[in-house]
């Protein structure tokens, strides 16, 4: 199966910009941005981010406020704060052997950066890769990571996989199966997440939102500073 997968990937790989570098900083930025954000939205923001802060040291020298403002529109703003804190750590101590010591870096992100930047023989298992391994019964090795990402994103889809176009269909025990829809994420419109996003956007624009609960929540996450009820971005 691995040979079939890699042969398919050689002809069908998506041309993603972070695949053209082994810079651990650039790869970390892409991985953090890609968490719960679609690839087509991430690509231009990744380019803009690296144009503004091309190195981990440049990001470390930025203020949290600058980082939060630049992140606006990507959602889940705590990711921006964690990425900045990770840059501060790396700028002072270098890249650690155990990447999970970096703020906001869990086992998956550590495996992805370890594989794509440092050539470590570890497979970063996200939901797509886990789904493919479960359906095929195959335990793919670390060299198949990017191919598995693309197969999961374009062919082996969550609900109705495109088995007719799959290079693994000939020996896949799950060929032709259909799946129940996954539990959808709660609606953003009208949610507390939206209130937080609107409040943070207002503070970034120099305004004072009146949503006290949202501001308290943002302050708890280090996204704003409250001083006598007045909100500002962290300096």
CATH of the domain at 67: 1.10.340.30
Structure confidence at residue 184 (pLDDT): 63
CA separation for the pair 164, 11 (Å, rounded):
17
Domain hosting residue 92, numbered range: 23-118
Structure confidence at residue 182 (pLDDT): 63
**199 occurs within a structural domain:** yes
Number of structural domains found in the chain: 2
Residue where a domain terminates, one of 118, 143, 161: 118
pTM of the model: 0.87
**147 occurs within a structural domain:** no
Structure confidence at residue 183 (pLDDT): 63
Residues recognised as catalytic? 31
CA separation for the pair 184, 196 (Å, rounded):
20
CB atoms within 10 A of CB 50: 20
Residue where a domain terminates, one of 73, 97, 118: 118
Q: Nearest CA to 203 among 176, 179, 222?
A: 222
Structure confidence at residue 86 (pLDDT): 98
**35 occurs within a structural domain:** yes
**95 occurs within a structural domain:** yes
Q: Nearest CA to 124 among 37, 27, 40?
A: 27
Surface-to-core class of residue 170, CB atoms within 10 Å of its CB (0-12 exposed, 13-18 middle, 19+ buried): exposed
Structure confidence at residue 106 (pLDDT): 96
User: Cα dihedral angle (160, 166, 170, 172), rounded to 10 degrees?
Assistant: -50
**148 occurs within a structural domain:** no
Structure confidence at residue 125 (pLDDT): 96
Structure confidence at residue 189 (pLDDT): 78
Q: What is the mean pLDDT of each run of 10 residues along the chain (235 residues)?
A: 97 97 98 93 97 98 96 91 97 97 97 98 96 96 97 94 96 90 69 87 88 89 88 89
CA separation for the pair 204, 234 (Å, rounded):
10
């Amino acid at each position: 199966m691995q040979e079939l997968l890699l042969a398919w990937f050689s002809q069908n790989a998506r041309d993603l910009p972070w695949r053209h570098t082994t810079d651990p900083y650039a790869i970390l930025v892409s991985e953090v941005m890609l968490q719960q954000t679609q690839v087509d939205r991430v690509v231009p923001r990744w380019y803009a981010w690296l144009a503004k802060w091309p190195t981990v040291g440049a990001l470390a020298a930025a203020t949290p406020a600058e980082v939060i403002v630049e992140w606006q529109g990507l959602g889940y703003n705590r990711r921006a704060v964690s990425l900045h804190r990770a840059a501060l750590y790396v700028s002072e101590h270098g890249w650690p052997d155990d990447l999970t010591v970096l703020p906001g870096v869990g086992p998956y992100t550590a495996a992805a950066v370890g594989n794509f930047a440092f050539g470590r023989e570890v497979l970063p298992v996200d939901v797509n890769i886990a789904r493919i391994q479960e359906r095929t019964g195959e335990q793919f090795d670390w060299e198949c990571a990017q191919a598995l990402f693309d197969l999961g994103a374009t062919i082996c889809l969550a609900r109705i996989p495109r088995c007719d176009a799959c290079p693994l269909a000939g020996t896949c025990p799950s060929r032709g199966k259909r799946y129940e829809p996954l539990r959808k994420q709660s609606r953003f419109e009208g949610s507390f997440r939206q209130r937080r996003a609107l409040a943070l956007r207002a503070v970034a624009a120099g305004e004072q939102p009146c949503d006290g609960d949202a501001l308290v929540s943002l302050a708890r996450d280090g996204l704003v500073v409250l001083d006598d009820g007045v909100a500002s971005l962290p300096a």
